[in-house]
């Protein structure tokens, strides 16, 4: 059993600001732990290492043109869902913990925010954006995404979120892809049990893809082709075209989410959940190594995993 910590301060103040336009509220929001977390995250994932400070970031998020179209009452309803459905919220933590090493969520905190990404995690903390359109159309998705982001928190206890300014060579980028495929794939997989039980596999595009074996076979082949183009060359400084590979991994076909989940599912089905969990402690190389063993192929030639 884990002890859930939910911080809603940012969300409450953001709703008040959107309703009143009181500029002083922006300053109060900028001083919240959630805003400081989002500032640090935006800089960690920036290729330049730069980013706005918390005050500037809050202004950008809450005064952008897209905020004028946000349903404020909808944000309030989704905030209430996360605060009042205590049994469901507790299950989010327990579902995440079921796919993590014991104690991995100790000290974790989940912030409810408005305007930043859909959900992010770093350094023992995670956040969900109550204003995101995905949640607006289906508020229950908040619970599933809470599992996903909390799983990241536990995963990162053993494998810290990479610093983008450290990614300079093809070898660095290959290592980044390996790490984030293990992280994102296992988080997607951790939600699958509850989604299946709730009949919610078709409310998110990643799970729709996972239900289509032919589509996933294409994604798997393309994932390893792209990975091999970085991992199987002598390390060299990155070029512009190399960064385009990340677009295929994180957006579009969302390869590291979907192929990563495919790998996690096979490891659990054939070797057991504890073996899958153990790869978190051992590192991304073990995650891919177990899959290579199952595919009766050498990890030295991942492109042949079909």
Give 71-87 pLDDT, tens digit per residue.
Answer: 899 999 999 999 888 88
Is residue 182 within 8 A of residue 287, CB to CB? The reply is yes
| Cα separation values, 41 from 67, 163, 201, 261, 266, Å | 21, 10, 29, 24, 31
- The residues, any chain, with a CB within 8 Å of residue 86's CB and separated by 6 or more, are none
Within-domain flag for 161: no
* Residue 52 resides in a domain: yes
Please tell me the predicted confidence (pLDDT) of residue 300. 45
Helix (H, G, I), strand (E, B) or coil at 12: helix
Q: Which residues of 139-152 are buried (b: 16+ CB within 10 A; e: fewer)?
A: bebbbbbbbbbbbb
Domain enclosing residue 67, as ranges: 6-156
Token pair for 197: 């039980």
Could you report the per-residue pLDDT of 256-280, keeping only the tens digit for each? 999 999 999 999 999 999 999 999 9
- Residue 1 domain-assigned (yes or no): no
140 and 245 both lie in a single domain: no
Residue 10 lies in a domain: yes
**Choice among 67-76, 168-177, 196-205, 273-282 with the minimum mean pLDDT:** 67-76
Do 63 and 143 lie in one domain? The reply is: yes
Residues 6 or more apart from 54 whose CB is under 8 A from it? 30, 31, 35, 36, 38, 39
Residues 16 and 128 reside in one and the same domain:
yes
Q: What is the pLDDT of residue 302?
A: 46
Q: Is residue 35 part of a domain?
A: yes
Give SS3 for 6: strand
- Closest by Cα among 282, 225, 270, 271 to 249: 225
Q: 135 and 24 share a domain?
A: yes
Domain boundary among 124, 156, 188: 156
What is the reported pLDDT for 193? 96
Instruction: Residue 302: name the closest of 214, 163, 181 by CA.
Output: 181
Number of domains, the chain:
2
- 91-116: average pLDDT: 96
Does 194 lie in the same domain as 108? no
216 and 248 inside one domain: yes
**Residue 266 and residue 185 share a domain:** yes
What was the pLDDT predicted at 85? 80
pLDDT score recorded for residue 299: 41
Residues 254 and 200 both lie in one domain? yes
pLDDT tens by residue, 225-255:
999 999 998 999 999 899 999 999 999 999 9
Q: What does the radius of gyration of the chain's CA atoms come to, in whole angstroms?
A: 19
Domain presence at residue 40: yes
What mean pLDDT comes out for the span 16-42? 97
- Read off the pLDDT of each residue in 164-191 and give the average, rounded to a whole number: 97
Single pTM value for the model: 0.94
Higher pLDDT: 69 or 24? It is 24
Last residue of a domain, one of 109, 124, 156: 156
Residue ending a domain, among 125, 156, 187, is 156
pLDDT reported for residue 64: 92
Q: Are residues 109 and 224 in the same domain?
A: no
Q: Could you tell me the pLDDT band of residue 3, with boundaries at 50, 70 and 90?
A: low
């Amino acid at each position: 059993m884990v002890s859930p910590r939910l911080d809603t301060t940012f969300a409450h103040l953001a709703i008040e600001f959107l309703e009143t336009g009181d500029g002083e509220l922006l300053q109060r929001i900028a001083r919240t732990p959630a805003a400081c977390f989002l500032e640090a995250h935006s800089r960690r994932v920036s290729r330049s290492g730069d980013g706005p400070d918390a005050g500037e970031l809050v202004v950008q998020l809450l005064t952008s043109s897209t905020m004028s179209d946000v349903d404020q009452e909808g944000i309030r309803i989704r905030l209430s869902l996360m605060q009042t459905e205590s049994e469901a919220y507790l299950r989010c933590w327990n579902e995440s913990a079921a796919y993590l090493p014991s104690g991995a969520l100790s000290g974790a905190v989940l912030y409810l925010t408005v305007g930043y990404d859909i959900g992010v995690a770093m350094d023992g903390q995670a956040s969900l954006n109550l204003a995101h359109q995905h949640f607006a159309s289906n508020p229950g998705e908040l619970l599933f995404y809470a599992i996903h982001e909390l799983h990241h928190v536990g995963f990162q206890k053993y494998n810290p979120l990479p610093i983008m300014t450290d990614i300079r060579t093809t070898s660095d980028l290959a290592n980044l892809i390996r790490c984030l495929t293990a992280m994102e794939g296992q988080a997607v997989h951790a939600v699958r049990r509850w989604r299946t039980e709730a009949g919610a596999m078709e409310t998110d595009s990643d799970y729709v893809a996972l239900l289509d074996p032919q589509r996933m076979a294409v994604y798997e082949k393309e994932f390893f082709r792209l990975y091999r183009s970085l991992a199987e060359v002598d390390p060299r400084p990155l070029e512009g075209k190399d960064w385009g590979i990340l677009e295929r991994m994180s957006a579009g076909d969302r390869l590291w989410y979907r192929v990563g989940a495919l790998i996690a599912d096979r490891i659990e089905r054939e070797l057991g959940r504890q073996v899958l969990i153990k790869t978190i402690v051992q590192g991304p190389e073990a995650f891919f190594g177990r899959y290579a063993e199952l595919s009766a192929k050498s990890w030295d030639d991942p492109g042949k995993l079909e």
